[in-house]
Amino acid sequence: MVVIVQNDPRVPTGIAGLQQNVQLVQAFAAQPFPDIATIDSVVILGGYMSFDADAVYSYLHDVKRFMGKVLDAQIPMLGICLGAQMLADILGAPVHRDRSEEQGLQVINLTEDGASDPLFAGSPTALAAFQWHHDSFDVPRGARHLAFNEQCPGQAFRYDNAYGVQFHPEVTGGIVENWCRHSGCSDELMAEFSAKEATHVSEHTRLFENFYGNVRRS
């Protein structure tokens, strides 16, 4: 079973949920987490809040505790944006407020480790990825650095079977449009994504297929 954890009602599963046997856990609505023994892989979605906003969003305590159990069980996990920042924090890496902000489609570059990692199998070494973040993380000690760009060096890492990606591989045009309506964005950003949505969905569907199908327990 694939478990997808939703931290914010405004940040849905998108193409991450185009998979059979998915259980969505809406952490913001206090939905319970399933038994670890029943889980094959986990996706932790993003959110508008900061990684350390537990005092305001108390359910983040439960999400982080669940992520710790997933790490201990060596179940494949993919943290996206906020999910990646929480993963980096759990692993002891600094997470920085309002540093390396990005919005819209940006090119990320795979490192040598990234180009050979099963998560990015079939991806170009210069990959257009959708960004919407203010905070950013350092790559945790002991993790493999998989992707970077000049604006934000920490774009992707792998620690055992756990991945963190700063970008949003799950988004569709509808999600981007909703974020723009809620928070504001330029007409150029929306137009560019609309023009390249089909390519983005194709390339990042491959990323999720790689994660669900090729990343195994150690």
Q: Which residue out of 81, 133, 145, 152 is catalytically annotated?
A: 81
Question: Would residue 81 show up in a list of annotated catalytic residues for this protein?
Answer: yes
Question: Would residue 200 show up in a list of annotated catalytic residues for this protein?
Answer: no
Secondary structure of residue 162 in the 3-state scheme:
strand
Alpha carbon 54 to its chain centroid, in Å, reads 19
Question: Would residue 170 show up in a list of annotated catalytic residues for this protein?
Answer: yes
Q: Which residue out of 133, 145, 152, 170 is catalytically annotated?
A: 170
For β-strands 136-137 and 95-96, DSSP reports them as: antiparallel
CA dihedral 11, 12, 16, 19 (to 10 degrees): 170
| DSSP result, 109-126 | EE-HHHHHSGGGTT--SE
Q: Which residue out of 133, 168, 200, 204 is catalytically annotated?
A: 168
| DSSP result, 38-79 | G-SEEEE---SS-TT-TTTSTHHHHHHHHHHHHHHTT--EEE
Q: Residue 111 and residue 37: Cα distance in Å, rounded?
A: 34
The residues annotated as belonging to the active site are 81, 168, 170
